[in-house]
Structure 1
Amino acid sequence: MWKKLAIIVMIIIFIDPIYTVGKTVVQQVKTWVNNDDIETMLVSTKDKIIDVTAKLSDKASIETATPIEDVHQAEVAPTAPPIQKPETKLVVTDAKEMADAMYAYYSSFSPKFEIQYKGSTQRIEQIVEEAYNNAIKRDDYVYGHISKHTIRFEYGRNKATIFGEQSYLMTPEQASYVEMNAQEVIAKITDNSMTDVEKVRAVNDYIVANTVYTEHTNSSPHSAYTVLAERGGVCQGYALLAHTMLQKLGIETKYIVGYVGQEGHAWNLVKLDGEWYHLDTTWNDPVPDRKGAIRYQYFLVDDRTMAQDHTWIAEDYPRATSTLYSYYHDIDFPAQVGNQLFFSHIADDNKLYVLDMTTGETKRVTNSRAQYIVYSDGWLYFSNYSRGAYLTKIRPDGSDEQLLNREDTKDLFVQDGYLYFTTDEPKKMAL
């Protein structure tokens, strides 16, 4: 006679936290998993503008610009063929084979599975639990996209049937879209000459520059698909997209679920030259969104620095103790010119600095407070917050600084031979 026994996977997941972090945290994590509700606290920057009268350069020719379509505007992206699913029923004989079968279903984003087990069932509950734990820990990216899942099984003396039902934050077609398009993005933003640090920065910069933090999306804002295709989402989507892009670059990474205050939050750990570092692309993205603004306060951060405003179950993740890249954390509005990175120095009143990325050395370019920094044809352009946020240009060596208008200017970017910016309306200037 067959016996029936049901295991709810949620119980399996949270056995360990019950003993390590206490009942309150476990209840919070359970609520997050059941409700698919990760939120984040974000940093909002308030800049002080000093309004002074300044002499204008008579060389500037400025005209009203036709607004360019916002790259962050959400849209429904085309889907791709679904990931190949395994056979309808798989037959296994031990926990390892069962884990392989479970992972095949999870990684293809299949909503249901049925696995046939042949062998002694005296330890069937332990075998199923072992298989599940093995399968779910193989890939943070897949696990991070599972919103709900249960496992039950029926068994006799020498055989059992394991049933799984699960739902995901994206469809199989959307998962295929990420698989194909993330690889295309990587090919555009990286090359074989780059170091791993440069590749991590390229991933961070791409996600930050092309994503608006928002819950108002067509698909789940928690998925990598939505961040990549709709260019909007929340921390879980940011972290999962970063995870798969870094994996494709051959950089070891982990997906972290933790807290900021009482709110659930997600970010990444990355491994470089044997050391682990925190990477929070969500918190590197200013809110409200600022066109072209990329921050590095949460780029390659150690545990001690991260713990100032983030919490996580430390024993569940590798330790991050290195501060090798701490010089990045004062960088705002970066503009790269070869091996030099020009930026607004947060710790020095947002004055314009340059970082030599070969040596890690920094020096001040000018005493002017610079925001929205861009480079074109031998000139740096920026919003000069020491001069009423007026549009200014300067040579990279700090010479020939000139004011180009007498209006509060922001959102600078260069495209097709023009410098675009916003005053009381969108404008452009031929370069």
Structure 2
Amino acid sequence: MKEKEVIGMIQMRKLIEVILSIILIISIAPMQGFAMEKDSVHTLSKEQQTVYNIALKSILNIDSSAKFNPENISYRDVGDIVNQVVEENPEIFYYNGVTVISDGTIIFKYNDSKKNIIQKKNKIDTAVKKVMNTTIKKKMNELEKVKAIHDYLVLNVEYDYKNYLNNTVSDDSYQVYGALINKKAVCDGYSKSMQLLLKKAGIQSFYVTGTANGENHSWNLVKINGKYSHVDATWDDPVPNKKGIINYNYFLLTNKQLEKDHYWVKSNYPTATSENYNYFHNMNNMIERNGYYYYSNAQNDILYKMNKSSKKISKVVNDRAPYLAICGQWIYYSNYSNGGNLYKVKLTGKEKMKVKNFHVINLYTQSNVLYYTVKSSGEIGRIEL
């Protein structure tokens, strides 16, 4: 073979390689519900873990691109790994897809400028630190941490209901920024924020995607004392929003309990079987004080209390009290056994008395002030306590 022919063949081979490197490109949009293995946040080979770490570092730095070794892993597998990074790190609220090239190049897409993303990240970091400092105490056990985070989200985030009805929900409402900064979110905003806060509190959790009542939905799977339970903070937040009210119907459920109205690919996640916390499901509008849970019984709204340690239950007063608030040693409640009039009673169940002679709802306290809504007019009333 002549020298010119050899050189020509070499040049042609290089040209083909260049063409192939251009052709072998895969673009992947953000995915929801990446399948996670059994009892670990992610199960990856050594090579996959290397790409995972590269992608995580690059996205956290808001880098436009990164490089991996295409001899160790197929470029076709990198997109799924990147999606897993995003799935397991809810602080990444700005990811908007990825393009992977067979030469080992990863090109990341973001939904905003780097400057704006950094500003939002700083706001989220500040908000997370504030939540941790105000809701998580040193001596809290795992259950108490999960409950504190669940309660914080329900009390401080409003479901973005109007925009949901009008199909105008913003991107922020699907992310932690909507829940923690704007205080408005849909299910993704709640569940990603819970995942982030649980992570900061040292609680292992999964962001679970599926459907509920036939619509796309997300919630969390949390690990307490070595066992898993489902938590759907979105469905525990009344819609339309009712300030000061927390439900526990979807707090720490088993697979069997949740599957009545939720659907998800169960093989993708650990199984929730613990029934240790079923007592929460009998509590409507519960308030925790001085080692007790005070609540309206789910069956008939009668006012009860439960000792947190012994789990002993006792009746506070034989009145129906679907709305209640606590300030100091007093429970204020809407007495549905007497026309919904505003009453108060000591935490001990003694010294019951009427406060207002009209029907009130939506009770809550803030800075030693009791707020209530007059049922007939919708007027907001207040009492200095």
**Shorter-chain TM-score tier:** 0.7 to 0.9
The aligned counterpart of 1:101 is 54
CA distance in 1 between partners of 2:354 and 2:319 (Å): 11
| Cα offset, 1:10, TM superposition | 5.5
Aligned residue identity for 1:358: S
Other-structure match for 1:407: 358
Aligned partner of 2:296: which letter? S
Equivalences for residues 199-278 of structure 1 within 5 A: 199-214=145-160, 216=163, 220-278=172-230
Relative distance call for 1:292 and 1:101 in structure 2 (3 A) is: same
Task: Output the CA distance in 2 between the equivalents of 1:105 and 1:196.
Answer: 32
Matches within 5 A, 1:284-303: 284-303=236-255
The equivalences for 1:132-171 within 5 A come to 132-138=79-85, 140-142=88-90, 145=93, 148-154=96-102, 160-168=103-111, 171=117
AA of the residue aligned to 1:259:
T
Task: Kindly provide the amino acid, as one letter, of the partner of residue 98 in structure 2.
Answer: T
Preserved contact between residue 88 and residue 207 of structure 2 (Cα < 8 Å): yes
Letter in 2 for 1:341: Y
The answer for the alignment partner of 2:306 in structure 1 is 355
Contact 1:137 1:143 in 2 (8 A): no
CA contact (8 A) 2:78 2:100 kept: no
From 258, 261, 280, the equivalent of 1:309 is: 261
Which whole-Å deviations, capped at 9, do the CAs of 1:41-88 have from their partners, x for residues lacking one? Answer: xxxxxxxxxxxxxxxxxxxxxxxxxxxxxxxxxxxxxxxxxxxxxxxx
Q: How high is the TM-score relative to the length of structure 2?
A: 0.81
Contact 2:304 2:317 in 1 (8 A): yes
Q: Is the 1:375–1:381 Cα contact (8 Å) retained in structure 2?
A: yes
Corresponding residue of 2:3: none
Match of 2:373 in 1: 422
Residues 1:168 and 1:105: Cα distance change in structure 2 (over 3 Å): farther
Distance, in Å, in 2 between the alignment partners of 1:355 and 1:11 is 45
Deviation at 1:152, TM superposition (A): 2.9
Give % identity. Answer: 24
Indicate conservation of the 8 Å contact 2:30/2:96, yes or no: no
Q: What is the distance in 1 between the residues matched to 2:56 and 2:155?
A: 33
Q: Distance in 2 between matches of 1:341 and 1:274?
A: 24
Within 5 A, what are the aligned runs for 1:6-25?
6-9=25-28
Q: Does the 8 Å contact 2:34/2:84 carry over to 1?
A: no
Does structure 1 conserve the Cα–Cα contact (< 8 Å) formed by 2:79 and 2:98?
no
Displacement of 1:212 in angstroms is 0.9
> CA 1:351/1:108 → structure 2, altered by over 3 Å: closer, same or farther?
farther
RCO (CA 8 Å, sep 6+): is it higher in 1 or 2? Answer: 1
1:177 aligns with 2:123: yes
Q: Which moved more, 1:228-237 or 1:174-183?
A: 174-183
Report the Cα distance in structure 2 between the residues aligned to 1:96 and 1:167, rounded to whole angstroms: 23
SS of equivalent residue, structure 2 residue 199: helix
Cα deviation, residue 9, structure 1:
2.9
Q: Which runs of 5+ in 1 are unaligned?
A: 18-92, 155-159
Contact map agreement 1:103 1:136 (CA 8 A) in 2? no
SS at match of 1:332: strand
- Cα gap change, 1:218 to 1:149, in 2 (>3 Å): closer
Q: Report if aligned partners of 1:136, 1:143 keep a CA contact under 8 Å in 2.
A: no
What is the Cα deviation at residue 290 of structure 1? 0.9
Aligned-partner SS, 1:205: helix
Which amino acid in the other structure matches residue 101 of structure 1? I
Deviation at 1:184, TM superposition (A): 1.6
CA distance in 2, matches of 1:401, 1:265: 43
CA contact (8 A) 2:331 2:344 kept: yes
Aligned residues of 1:183 and 1:248 also touching (Cα < 8 A): no
Q: For residue 35 of structure 1, what is the aligned residue in structure 2?
A: none
Indicate the structure with greater helix content.
Answer: 2
Which residue, out of 127, 136, 144, partners 2:74? 127
Counterpart of 1:62 in structure 2 is: none
The RMSD of aligned alpha carbons is: 2.8
- 8 Å CA contact 1:413–1:421 kept in 2: the answer is yes
Write the distance in 2 (CA, Å) between the matches of 1:11 and 1:235: 17
2-structure distance, mates of 1:354, 1:15? 41
Query: Aligned partners of 1:341 and 1:287: how far apart in 2?
Result: 23
Q: Once structures 1 and 2 are overlaid, which stretch shifts more, 138-147 or 313-322?
A: 138-147
**Contact 1:413/1:419 (CA < 8 Å) preserved in 2?**
yes
Match of 2:270 in 1: 318
2: CA distance, partners of 1:12 / 1:209: 29
Query: Aligned equivalents of 1:15 and 1:384: distance in 2?
Result: 48
Superposed CA deviations along residues 162-214 of structure 1, whole A, max 9, x for unmatched, are 13232359934323322232122111112111111111111011100011101
Q: Secondary structure at the match of 1:97?
A: helix
Count how many residue pairs are aligned between Structure 1 and Structure 2.
344
SS of residue matched to 2:147: helix
Counterpart of 1:150, as a letter, is V
Name the counterpart of 1:67. none
Q: Which runs of 5+ in 2 are unaligned?
A: 1-13, 37-45, 164-168
| 1:252-297 CA-partner distances (Å, limit 9, x unpaired) | 0110011013210010011011100101110010111111000111
Kindly tell me: are residues 300 and 254 of structure 1, through their superposed partners in 2, closer, same or farther at Cα, counting changes over 3 Å?
same
Contact 1:220-1:226 within 8 A present in 2 as well = yes
Query: Which residue number in structure 2 is paired with residue 51 of structure 1?
Result: none
1:410/1:95 Cα in 2 relative to 1: closer, same or farther (>3 Å)? closer
Q: 1:200 corresponds to which letter in structure 2?
A: V
Measured at CA, do residues 13 and 6 of structure 1 come closer, stay the same or move farther in structure 2, by a change above 3 Å?
A: farther
One-letter amino acid matched to 1:263 = E
Does structure 2 retain, via aligned residues, the 8 Å contact 1:94–1:127?
A: no
Alpha-carbon distance, 1:131 to partner: 4.2
8 Å CA contact 2:54–2:68 kept in 1: the answer is no
